Structure 1
């Protein structure tokens, strides 16, 4: 068994691990959001994040990072397809920990460094130059937007959460093999824009990187991350991207509950439940964003797109709350196996359940507070003056509901 158990228990710690009673944590989180909204509603009258941070032209692709990313990719694929049992276990673990979860802290610290590390962009550049088509053969259809990336992210979370055996080498081989072929072929056909819109990991990294407090456009520039957050490129399917990320994390927490495990759901049942979580999260956000007066029909339809970037802090908060222990401890195991080392992972974090429980609350509530601030600032720009306060009430209710459900799923089930 290559990954015995870890996929079902990403986050460790539960209700009894909290230094305060669970109801107090939920009520405190809800009050923190409500007080934040009340304060900014009356003291924050002008938008503060309208002007993006400008540090000049982004640097060219750093070829040495592309070499590093290519070497790591070759090692992981080689271990997965040709390695021993230990190496294959390390490759599967690397796929689920460092490639998926580790992408988030990497983007927060280094910005969209994935653009430099991506071996697929490197392959596209080499083939494009060799074939005389650096921009590809076809124009990327504007109507596609982020939908291919959303489909890729959904395919990943389905493999992790719904497939019959997500930890098997065969399953991961098929997924990564298909991903490599589709990504390279798409890059050759459509050029660099394919990675900007269709590569699920590239898009995920680019979105989270807008919340980095240290890097702007891959240049070192410490700043208030709420100033760069609104610069997330808006396109068709961006709401689906965020809905998949939030909905899948919520379903992962819910699916780990004893009640759900005892149901012995089929793959089809798990798939339907995952889709329901994703659709509910997305539909609730769209409804809350559009629940305001004083706007035309066209303006109302545009509001979800204007506000979707405000959910990124919630995504990041949930990822850290849900996967932190998993990344730190299972990530160590993956590296040990992938390098064929004779070592034992440290379980320092999971041995301190009170700390883990406290961190969960901090990450969830902190992410929602940042989302409230970003949404309020954006509302000052997009909503009519007479509805700048009342037009935010539905979104505020949604944020409180997200907080309650997030803490309940992470700490109680």
Structure 2
């Protein structure tokens, strides 16, 4: 077997393993998943007549020592300090040689983007603790006083819109920019991110790092699938992720953020299809600028399709007042979270497992000078998912289907809470059709290309 290339060589090749490794033909998988979703909806619709989730008191408190440990200043300080040290180490790499062995692109696209998603889905919104910018702002606040951070209140009308712009900037760099894998491109993006996030934090305080930081918002979205949460008194509890989903903040830009996450991942799969690659090659010729415009347009179309279809499906219900109809997309947005995270895991998990190993090992010598920090250069990656392609593609199907099943259940429960009794079933039909469309298209893009 030919081992995968270094992280900078394969940053766009996330969907490794094609339909030839599926245990059954792709057509059967597509039809079977669509039927599974439809049958599940029918069963849920008739057997699930009252809302089960969305209760603020849901959950079981863990032993008090868990909360004390999680909130311990020394524990949090050590974790935040290690994150700052790693950031500083990557700053060194950012000014290192433009080679395949430089760990910066892999750390940026794989460890940060995908690894943070997995950690957040398992443990909660970890970026609040790991963010080096937030740590610096908190230190400045503690040393110089609260007045140096937060000159004015963060406007509620901004909601998640600044984070949505940051997410668009990230996915554009990864999927549409001329040279996404270069150290220089990542370095410029990170400098802009640090300047904007630090300046925003100084002006608007730590609330800026919660609502305007794209990585913080992404971590918040993924954390709604975590079995761990906090109750009203701040104690750590364990509860069904279905209850945590309903706590997703409903703010200006919430639906857009989810559309960006799902649409960009779908476009990543679509961009690997030969038909699209031939179209770009024929239309752009040797012009990199035109090729970038093609990719940018394709990315925006995918994001727009997700946003418009979900917005339309959420509002396509009778018997509701205009104010509620206007708010329904935001109130139903949490049902997209399992779909988004399921598809992201299906698409990027193999990159995290295999390219993530390569990136971690490359951290031992970020400047290519023969260093062997923590003896990382002595280790070798294990390509466990590439060695078991049938298991890998089966997991991908399970992530996509499982995410959509949870999404259907969340949408149904929300409909029971929000819609008039006469329209609780019929009001879900457009959402159901939309989710079947997402499932079919997602699996086809993941394997059909």
**TM-score bracket for this pair, using the shorter chain length:** over 0.9
**Match of 2:126?**
113
Cα separation, 1, equivalents of 2:110 and 2:54: 35
Partner SS for 2:225: coil
Matches within 5 A, 1:305-320: 305-320=330-345
Residue 8 of structure 1 and its aligned partner are, at CA, apart by 2.5
Aligned-residue CA RMSD in angstroms?
Answer: 2.0
Are the counterparts in 2 of residues 158 and 271 from structure 1 also a CA contact under 8 Å? yes
Counterpart check, 1:33 vs 2:47: no
| CA contact 2:30–2:440 (8 Å) conserved in 1 | yes
Structure 1 residues 13 and 88, CA gap change in structure 2 (3 angstroms): closer
Q: How many Å apart are 1:131 and its aligned residue?
A: 5.1
Q: Residues of 1 paired with 2:240 and 2:25: CA distance? A: 33
Aligned with 1:186 (options 194, 197, 200): 200
Name 2:369's counterpart in structure 1: none
**1:403 equivalent in alignment to 2:428:** no
2:189 pairs with 1:175: yes
Distance 1:200 1:317, change over 3 A: same
CA deviation string 1:368-393 (max 9, x = no partner): 00000111001001000000000000
Which residue number corresponds to residue 229 of structure 1? 245
Distance 1:350 1:13 in 2: 8
| Alignment partner, residue 21 of structure 1 | 25
Unmatched tracts of structure 1, length 5 or more:
none
Q: Which moved more, 1:26-35 or 1:391-400?
A: 26-35
Q: Is the 8 A contact 2:224 2:247 kept in 1?
A: yes
| TM-score, normalised by the number of residues in structure 2 | 0.88
Indicate the larger mover: 254-263 or 126-135.
Answer: 126-135
- Give the 5 Å matches for 1:128-139: 128-129=141-142, 130=144, 132-133=146-147, 136-139=150-153
Matched, 1:334 2:334: no
* Residue 394 of structure 2 corresponds to residue 358 of structure 1: yes
Does residue 162 of structure 1 match 2:187? no
Partner of 1:66: 80
1:272 aligns with 2:308: no
CA contact (8 A) 1:80 1:87 kept: no
TM-superposed CA distance for 1:207, in Å, is: 1.5
Are 1:2 and 1:169, in contact at CA under 8 Å, matched by a contact in 2? no
1-structure distance, mates of 2:185, 2:255: 28
For the 8 Å contact 1:17–1:353, the answer to whether it is kept is yes
The answer on whether the counterparts of 2:18 and 2:447 sit within 8 Å (CA) in structure 1 is yes
The answer to whether residue 320 in structure 2 is matched with residue 304 in structure 1 is: no
Moved more, 344-353 or 279-288: 344-353
Aligned partners of 1:88 and 1:169 also within 8 Å: no
Aligned to 1:103: 116
Match of 2:350 among 293, 310, 325: 325
TM-score (norm 1): 0.95
Is contact 1:101–1:327 with CA below 8 Å preserved after alignment? Answer: yes
CA distance in 2, matches of 1:402, 1:132: 46
Alignment length, in residue pairs? 412
How far, CA to CA, are the matches of 2:131 and 2:259 in structure 1? 25
Higher RCO structure (Cα 8 Å, ≥6 apart): 1
- Structure 1 window deviating more from structure 2 (20-29 vs 127-136): it is 127-136
Mapped partners of 2:92, 2:100: distance in 1: 9
DSSP-derived class of the 1:115 partner:
helix
Measured after TM superposition, the shift of residue 213 of structure 1 is: 1.6
> 1:73 and 1:230 mapped to 2: Cα distance?
33
CA contact (8 A) 1:321 1:361 kept: yes
* Separation of aligned partners in 2, 1:360 and 1:88: 29
Question: Any gaps of 5 or more consecutive residues in structure 2?
Answer: 285-290, 366-376
1:345 paired with 2:385, answer no
Per-residue CA shift, 1:88-124, capped at 9, x if unaligned? 7212111110100111110022111221121111111
Q: CA deviation at 1:69?
A: 1.3
The SS at the match of 1:201 is: helix
Residues 144-178 of structure 1: CA deviation (Å, up to 9, x unaligned): 11001000011000000001000111101100111
**Aligned mate of 1:144, from 158, 161, 182:** 158
Partner of 1:195: 209
